[in-house]
Structure 1
């Protein structure tokens, strides 16, 4: 009887450990996608490329939404990587304006918006 109890306890422990590993994997892969980042910042492109004189309400709404989505370190690092990747593909991008958008929208993103930001150090 004791052997069956030990076996059952061991099986329960193994199942709990497997579930914990699976949940940790899901959390690590639950980062914000570049599609979400792109959709969020799309209304800002006119301003950061000099085609609009001011940040639009839609831009600020997107920045707030993206900041709210990026709650975990993995999410913020993924958003950082996406922003840097997208910045390289937008012609006539003014990085000074890009860096100032969160402040103009009253949002603190927690890391500098710059091509030199090390996304691996974003927390």
Structure 2
């Protein structure tokens, strides 16, 4: 990974930590969310077929977010990732859970109010 890539990833990771800090009761972290979604980046940027590893990650992430604080933290991390990682297409991000057969209790969107996720 080039130095600029490391710097971008570090900045993104720090943003995730700051966003998740109000959710101290949550067992799930932005680091976990980001690492789970890394197999999905190709699809989120370019479309095509969703990789099986991506769907497995989405299912694991959904299973890990068992409580309201967990779901709110995951929502905030997804929202932050959408706003921080360039090239992600909103339509693909919004459709990803259903493409993987996962029913999230919220829509992946940069305008979602994660405090209302239950």
TM class, shorter-chain normalised?
A: 0.7 to 0.9
Give the aligned CA root-mean-square deviation in angstroms: 1.1
3-state SS in 1 of match to 2:84: coil
Structure 2, unpaired ranges of 5+: 1-23
Q: How does 1:1-123 map to 2 (within 5 A)?
A: 29-50=25-46, 53-123=48-118
Q: Distance in 1 between matches of 2:77 and 2:114?
A: 10
Q: CA deviation at 1:116?
A: 1.1
| Contact 2:72-2:114 within 8 A present in 1 as well | yes
Q: Calculate the TM-score normalised by the size of structure 1.
A: 0.74
Q: CA deviation at 1:122?
A: 0.1
3-state SS in 2 of match to 1:31: coil
Larger Rg: 1
3-state SS in 2 of match to 1:49: helix
